[in-house]
């Protein structure tokens, strides 16, 4: 009797397991996320994805520095656990694609929502899902004390940083140490139309620079603490820190400024490929765009997203024309040139 | 009869130790060695920026080692060999900087000594630019003088006052006494302390990343290759560059300095009191110690203030909100605590066992164990973390996202200190005791259990504490192996810093410090004087 009971139980278990396994094949159960975004945005994106699609989203790794996330993807490549890499500028994704770490995917949402195809990877590996513009930031108190009395208006253009009044008072970032800073340097070249003009600007700015920080956004804490009067950084990160931390700084978007494309991509060998594709589609939805704009102050690539107060509409910014390919091709050459000029 | 047959337990232990070292130290290190290609090496070595950072690293190591050792010696001398007031207090303070998680301690130097610094600007009315080699030199001196002082305290304490007493009887006094007796006896300790400081300054990236400004050093360049450019090969090359000098320093310390120790432990405490120090010397030493300890205290006060004010550096309104928010970070803190306790105990157990078999037994592979146990002291944290990430996130050793991978990495990264201490102790315990027991018929295991264990309790707990502290405060080892499931507090501190949440980061750093210090306090209370930190 006992034996029969046991075998019946075993049968039930087996059927149950088989059933569960069969089901698992049809519906992807979850998507595993590596994020180079802030904590709040990442968490909210994951739970909104579950709400929308019913698929679980697991945040396995969240670090602001995209380089560290991309490096992790490389070291784990022989047995990938994550499905998607979200956040970080497109250069990190392009580099992973070139190394064979990514899976091609173009979301149908790009066409449906009428998103500018120029914001997508020409080779089809990564999806641009937000934009970030470069901004200037200055310490209000220091400006009022040291610059205003001389009758000089607050800095609003890139050329304002060249004013001798800011000698030793500008915090810039170092392209040798970080990819974000490289984009900031490239922005000068694209903004001014040629390599010569771009590097001429960097040469003129150099005497005013107090420090080239190792991280791209190193100027934010230093300007806030009054180590220097003015600096530049990514606008979305600066606004986020200013608003959330009540920093005594003013954020200005110069008339012709550079920008980055925030990308997302699917890893080669992703364990949950179908769910990963759905997640990329989701990132292009108005819901994801709103979460990203509200918490991270990043511009969505599509229309129909409400921007948080204090963020100028993207259309108002006059962006310098970008050539991603040129920026990627010239990394070594431009870094070297920059090092020659600055001696860094 | 071979060991295998006569003493199966010993045979097994030897094999476990050798295999563990091969698997958890040698294999991941080789993986990192093999990662970069020849062109990666050339690319880094030919780049003027990295050539400069190599020189910068050496320069700052020499400067900081000299200043930290010099001041550390004065400090240690004053609290062990003189009768100045507040000696207990000075000693307590010198333990503080052992617990310095990355970023935030360096951040508090900026708050104190930057252009808007509380001391430089508000108190002294100066406009100082702390960023650069001078700021780094200053920070590293304050940060590592306590380590130097701790090591030298140990040596100075073991110089019997009777020798100085004898010198005094023969007519020597004051500086002559110091120059001819005390200092020569302490010299090996001074050299040992200096080399320990040198290794730590060389590998430190937390202070330089915050305050070195445009002065680049190898440790931060290696870090930025990953963070800024996702360039693992470049980071591996730079870590290898760091490994060479730090390994040379370690070998030098191990095989040269430690052999020249003139200090003999007599076993009995000499009942001669320390002689009165001259009035002037006494007050000079007292004021030096007082200023140094105030400096150290201030750094930590600034850190704690950061956790309790709205905006560090610009808005000094007190607030509880950061501390409250940190309470929601209890998973990270719990992980940090449990992982570090496990890694600390594992490390102490492993290293003391290895030290025991190396100093007591003769067997094949003995020199391999000796060498591999001190190797991790020279490995930069990021190097080992990288190796674990490449080696242990895929079959056959798939430890991805587990507590095990973090604990193992932290454990093996720290075996060198415990091993050094263990070797030192076993050399002092005369083998005649064990031989006697052996003649009476006791096996290796019984001798170890009944004779050696009671004698090594102290060193075991010292090894535990040092590994624990290093484990709970490191970031570079874990950055490549944590996921949301096994995340630790230092990783969250890094995230908070790069998110710009300095208040929260300060609060989390303080919580971590309190936990680490609390555990040290408990261990000290339980074990009393047996715990010695950083023995050379």
Q: Kindly report which listed range (A190-194, B157-161, B244-248) carries the lowest average pLDDT score.
A: B157-161
Instruction: Work out the angle at residue A120's Cα, subtended by the Cα atoms of residues A118 and A124, and round it to the nearest 5 degrees.
Output: 125
- Taking an 8 Å cut-off on Cβ atoms, the answer to whether B232 and A74 are in contact is yes
Distance between CA atoms of residues A198 and A338, nearest Å: 10
The token duo for B485 is 């499931």
State whether A61 and A205 are in the same domain.
Answer: no
CA–CA distance, B216 with A248 (Å, rounded to integer): 29
Query: Per the structure block, which two tokens stand in for B386?
Result: 């990288």
Tell whether A291 and A176 lie within a shared domain: no
Both A158 and A197 in one domain: the answer is yes
Distance in angstroms (rounded) separating the CA atoms of residues A54 and B467 = 45
Q: Do A55 and A155 share a domain, yes or no?
A: no
Which residue in B114, B220, B484 is closest to A227 by CB distance?
A: B114
Sign of the Cα torsion A204, A210, A212, A215 reads: negative
Does any CB of chain B come closer than 8 Å to the CB of residue A215? Answer: yes
B481-506 b/e with 16+ CB inside 10 Å = b? Answer: bbbbebbbbbbbbbbbbbbbbbbbbb
ipTM: 0.87
Whether residue A302 lies inside any domain: the answer is yes
B479: nearest Cα among B241, B299, B239, B304: B239
Torsion of CA B494, B500, B501, B502, to 10 degrees: 80
269-328 in chain B: CB under 8 A from chain A: 310-315
Helix (H, G, I), strand (E, B) or coil at B477: coil
Handedness of CA B267, B273, B278, B283 (dihedral sign): positive
pLDDT average, residue stretch A112-121? 92
A247-295 pLDDT, tens digit per residue, is 999 999 998 888 899 999 999 999 999 999 999 999 999 999 999 999 9
* Least confident stretch, A119-128, B48-57, B454-463: B454-463
Shared-domain flag, residues A251 and A139: yes
The pLDDT assigned to A32 comes to: 96
As a whole number of angstroms, the distance between CA B357 and CA A172 comes to: 56
How many structural domains are present in chain A? 2
Q: Is the pLDDT of residue A303 over 50?
A: yes
CA-to-CA distance for A256 and A319, rounded, in angstroms?
5
Q: Rounded CA gap, B465 and B459, in Å?
A: 10
Residues of A in contact with B484 (CB under 8 A): 58-62
Average pLDDT over residues A145-150: 95
Higher pLDDT, B467 or B102: B467
Contact A75 B227 (CB under 8 A): no
In a domain, A216, yes or no: yes
Distance between CA atoms of residues B242 and B119, nearest Å? 34
CA angle centred on B84, ends B80 and B86, rounded to 5°:
90
Q: Is residue A141 part of a domain?
A: yes
B142/B207 Cα distance (integer angstroms): 11
Contact B381, B199 (CB under 8 A): no
Tell me whether residue A2 is in a domain: no
Are the Cβ atoms of B311 and A245 closer than 8 angstroms?
A: yes
Q: Which of B7-21, B312-326, B459-473 has the highest mean pLDDT?
A: B7-21
- Do A78 and A173 belong together in one domain? no
- The pTM for the full model equals 0.88
Between these two residues, B421 and A264, which has the higher pLDDT value? A264
Do B400 and A245 count as a contact with CB atoms less than 8 A apart?
A: no
A223 and A300, same domain (yes or no): no
Cα–Cα dist B329/A39, whole Å: 12
Cα B403 to Cα B25, B342, B486: the distances in Å are 18, 10, 6
Asked if A38 has any chain B CB less than 8 Å from its own CB, the reply is yes
**Using the beta-carbon criterion (under 8 Å), do A344 and B394 form an inter-chain contact?**
no
Residue A57 belongs to domain with CATH number: 3.40.190.10
The 3-class secondary structure across B117-134, one letter per residue, is CHHHHHHCCCCCCCCCHH
Look at residue B118 and tell me whether its pLDDT is greater than 90. no
Domain presence at residue A320: no
pLDDT band for position B264 (cuts 50, 70, 90): very low
Provide the mean pLDDT of chain B: 86
Q: How confident is the model at residue A344 (pLDDT cuts 50, 70, 90)?
A: confident
Binary contact (A211, B224; C-beta < 8 A): no
pLDDT of residue B260: 57
Contact B116 A227 (CB under 8 A): yes
Summarised one tens digit per residue, pLDDT across range B318-346 is 999 999 988 888 889 999 999 999 999 99
User: What span, in angstroms and rounded, lies between the C-alpha atoms of B518 and B512?
Assistant: 10
pLDDT digits (tens, 9 = 90+) for B33-74: 999 999 999 999 999 999 999 999 999 999 999 999 999 999
B499:A38 CB<8 A: yes
Same domain, A194 and A137: yes
The closest CB to that of A178, out of B228, B315, B494, belongs to B228
Verify whether the Cβ–Cβ distance B315 to A248 is below 8 Å: yes
Q: Are A278 and A338 part of one and the same domain? A: no
Residue of B473, B482, B480 lying closest to B511 (CA atoms): B473
Q: Which residues have a Cβ under 8 Å from the Cβ of A82 and sit 6 or more positions away? A: A32, A33, A34, A60, A61, A73, A76, A267, A270
Verify that A162 and A254 share a domain, yes or no.
yes
Q: Which two tokens stand for residue A273?
A: 């490929």
pLDDT at B151: 81
- Position B459 scores a pLDDT of 78
> Shortest CB distance from B484 goes to which of A61, A178, A228?
A61
Give the closest of B49, B314, B389 to A176, CB-based.
B49
Chain B residues with beta carbon closer than 8 angstroms to that of A74: 230, 232
Residues in chain A within 8 Å Cβ distance of B392: none
For chain B, what percent of residues have pLDDT higher than 90? 41
Q: What percent of chain A has pLDDT over 90?
A: 75
Q: Let me know whether A147 and A295 are in one domain.
A: no
Distance from CA of B168 to the nearest CA of A (A): 55
Q: Which of A225, A233, A238, A331 to mutate to test the interface with B (most CBs of B within 10 A)?
A: A225
Distance CA B408, CA B417 (A): 16
| DSSP secondary structure letter of residue B290 | H
Strands A256-257 and A318-319, by their bridges, are parallel
Q: Which domain holds residue A86?
A: 28-131+260-312
If you average pLDDT over residues B376-402, what whole number do you get?
A: 89
């Amino acid at each position: 009797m006992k034996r029969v009971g046991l075998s019946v139980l075993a049968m039930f278990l087996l059927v149950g397991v088989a059933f569960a396994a069969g089901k698992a094949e049809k519906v992807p159960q979850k998507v595993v996320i590596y994020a180079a975004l802030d904590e709040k945005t990442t968490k909210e994106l994951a739970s909104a994805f579950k709400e929308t699609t019913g698929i679980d989203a697991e945040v396995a790794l969240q670090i602001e520095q995209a380089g560290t996330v991309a490096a992790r993807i490389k070291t784990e490549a022989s047995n990938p656990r994550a499905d998607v890499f979200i956040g970080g500028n497109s250069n990190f994704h392009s580099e992973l694609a070139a190394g064979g770490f990514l899976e091609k995917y173009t979301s149908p949402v790009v066409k449906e929502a009428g998103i500018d195809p120029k914001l997508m990877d020409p080779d089809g590996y990564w999806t641009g899902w937000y934009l970030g513009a470069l901004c200037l930031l200055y310490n209000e108190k220091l400006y009022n004390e040291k610059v205003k009395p001389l009758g000089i208006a607050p800095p609003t253009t890139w050329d304002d940083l060249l004013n001798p009044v800011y000698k030793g008072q500008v915090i810039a970032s170092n392209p040798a140490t970080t990819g974000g800073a490289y984009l900031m340097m490239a922005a000068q070249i694209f903004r001014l139309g040629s390599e010569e003009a771009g590097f001429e600007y960097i040469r003129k700015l150099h005497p005013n620079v107090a420090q080239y920080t190792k991280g791209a956004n190193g100027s934010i804490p230093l300007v806030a603490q009054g180590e220097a009067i003015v600096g530049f950084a990514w606008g979305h990160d600066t606004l986020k820190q200013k608003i959330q931390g009540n920093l005594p700084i003013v954020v200005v978007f110069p008339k012709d400024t550079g920008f980055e494309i925030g990308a997302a991509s699917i890893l080669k060998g992703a364990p949950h490929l179908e769910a990963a594709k759905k997640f990329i589609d989701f990132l292009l939805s108005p819901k994801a765009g709103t979460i990203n704009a509200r918490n991270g102050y990043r511009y969505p690539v599509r229309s129909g997203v409400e921007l948080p107060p204090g963020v100028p509409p993207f259309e108002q910014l006059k962006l310098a024309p970008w050539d991603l390919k040129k920026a990627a091709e010239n990394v070594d050459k431009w870094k070297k040139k920059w090092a020659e000029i600055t001696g860094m | 009869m071979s060991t295998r047959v006569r003493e199966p337990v010993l045979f097994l232990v030897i094999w476990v130790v050798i295999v563990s070292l091969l698997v958890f130290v040698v294999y991941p290190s080789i993986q990192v060695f093999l990662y970069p290609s020849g062109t990666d090496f050339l690319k880094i070595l030919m780049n003027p920026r990295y050539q400069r950072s190599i020189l910068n690293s050496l320069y700052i190591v020499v400067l900081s080692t000299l200043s930290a050792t010099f001041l550390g010696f004065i400090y240690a001398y004053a609290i062990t060999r003189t009768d100045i007031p507040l000696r207990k207090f000075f000693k307590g303070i010198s333990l503080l900087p052992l617990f310095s998680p990355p970023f935030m301690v360096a951040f508090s130097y900026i708050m104190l000594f930057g252009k808007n610094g509380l001391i430089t600007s508000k108190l002294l009315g100066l406009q100082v630019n702390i960023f650069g080699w001078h700021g780094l030199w200053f920070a590293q001196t304050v940060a590592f003088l306590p380590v130097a002082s701790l090591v030298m305290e140990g040596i100075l304490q073991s110089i019997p006052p009777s020798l100085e007493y004898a010198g005094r009887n023969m007519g020597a006094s004051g500086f002559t006494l110091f120059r001819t007796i005390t200092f020569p006896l302490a010299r090996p300790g001074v050299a040992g302390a200096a080399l320990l400081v040198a290794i730590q300054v060389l590998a430190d990236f937390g202070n330089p990343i915050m305050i070195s400004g445009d002065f680049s050093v190898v440790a931060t360049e290696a870090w930025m290759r990953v963070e800024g450019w996702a360039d693992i090969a470049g980071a591996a090359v730079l870590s290898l560059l760091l490994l060479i000098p730090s390994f040379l320093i370690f070998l030098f310390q191990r095989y040269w300095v430690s052999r020249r120790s003139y200090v003999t432990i007599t076993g009995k405490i000499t009942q001669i009191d320390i002689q009165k120090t001259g009035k002037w010397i006494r007050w000079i030493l007292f004021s030096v110690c007082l200023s140094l300890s105030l400096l150290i205290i201030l750094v930590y006060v600034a850190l704690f203030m950061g956790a309790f004010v709205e905006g560090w550096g610009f808005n000094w309104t007190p607030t509880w909100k950061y501390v409250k928010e940190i309470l929601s970070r209890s998973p990270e803190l719990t992980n940090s605590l449990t992982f570090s306790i496990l890694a600390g105990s594992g490390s102490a157990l492993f290293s003391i066992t290895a030290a025991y078999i190396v100093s007591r037994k003769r067997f094949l592979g003995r020199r391999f164990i000796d060498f591999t146990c001190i190797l991790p002291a020279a490995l930069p944290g990021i190097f080992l973390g990288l190796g674990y990430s490449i080696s242990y996130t895929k079959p056959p050793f798939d430890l991805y996202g587990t507590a095990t991978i973090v604990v193992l990495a932290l454990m093996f990264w720290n075996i060198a200190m415990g091993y050094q201490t263990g070797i030192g102790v076993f050399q002092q315990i005369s083998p005649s005791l064990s031989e006697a027991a052996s003649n009476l018929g006791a096996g290796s295991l019984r001798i170890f259990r009944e004779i050696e264990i009671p004698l090594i309790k102290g060193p075991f707990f010292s090894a535990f504490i040092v590994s624990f502290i290093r484990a709970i405060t490191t970031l570079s080892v874990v950055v490549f192996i944590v996921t949301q499931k096994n995340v630790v507090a230092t990783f969250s501190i890094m995230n908070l810093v790069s998110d710009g949440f300095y208040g929260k980061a300060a609060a989390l750093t303080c919580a971590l410090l309190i936990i680490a210090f609390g555990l040290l306090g408990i261990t000290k209370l339980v074990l009393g004087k047996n715990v010695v930190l950083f023995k050379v």
